[in-house]
Amino acid sequence: MTSVIMARQVRTKLEEFVRAKIEDWLGLKINREKTRVVEVREPSAELEFLGYSFRLDRDLGGRKIRYWNMQPSAKALAREREKLRGLINRRRGCQALPELIAELNRHLRGWANYFGAGYSRKAFREINAQVSRRLARHLRRRSQRGWRPPKGTSIHAHLQQLGLIYL
């Protein structure tokens, strides 16, 4: 079980109360190595939880207001890139392109639905670039002749015409 407890101040009394509730009342064991207290008011403090990275950021408009920033964590992006490497690789060279794109779309839709909350735009751009780069390389590798998109269209537009969705 994973949990996050937010409090203005963490004192030993609060820690003992939480420990008693989790270990005694619920019968669960707290992993002392993974348990930590994060002071989010510090400028570089960040909390990673369920694939998201949470931090308190300053306002982009220049005001003295701070807000919670929630975006996919670096670990989640690395796992997604690894998953895409598995989906688009040499061993899939003989798979029909519409099947490959349908499988990719299904996977990307699921990932985007989970990580769509918060400020995911930058992560989505990285994933889109990775997918189009890998698919273009895959298409070039499949044929003995060099593959190029049709004249007058970009790689991105051609992949979109083939049915690929972009996040």
Angle at the Cα of 149 from the Cα atoms of 143 and 154, rounded to 5 degrees: 145
pLDDT of residue 111: 95
Instruction: Say if residue 162 is exposed, middle or buried (CB neighbours under 10 Å; 0-12, 13-18, 19+).
Output: middle
Using CA atoms in the order 43, 49, 51, 52, what is the torsion angle rounded to 10 degrees?
Answer: -40
pLDDT of residue 38: 75
| Residue 162, CA atoms < 13 Å, CB-side half-sphere | 23
Q: Tokens standing for 120?
A: 């995911």
- All residue ranges of the chain with pLDDT < 50 are none
pLDDT of residue 3: 66
pTM across the whole model = 0.77
If you ran DSSP here, which 8-state letter would residue 147 be given? P
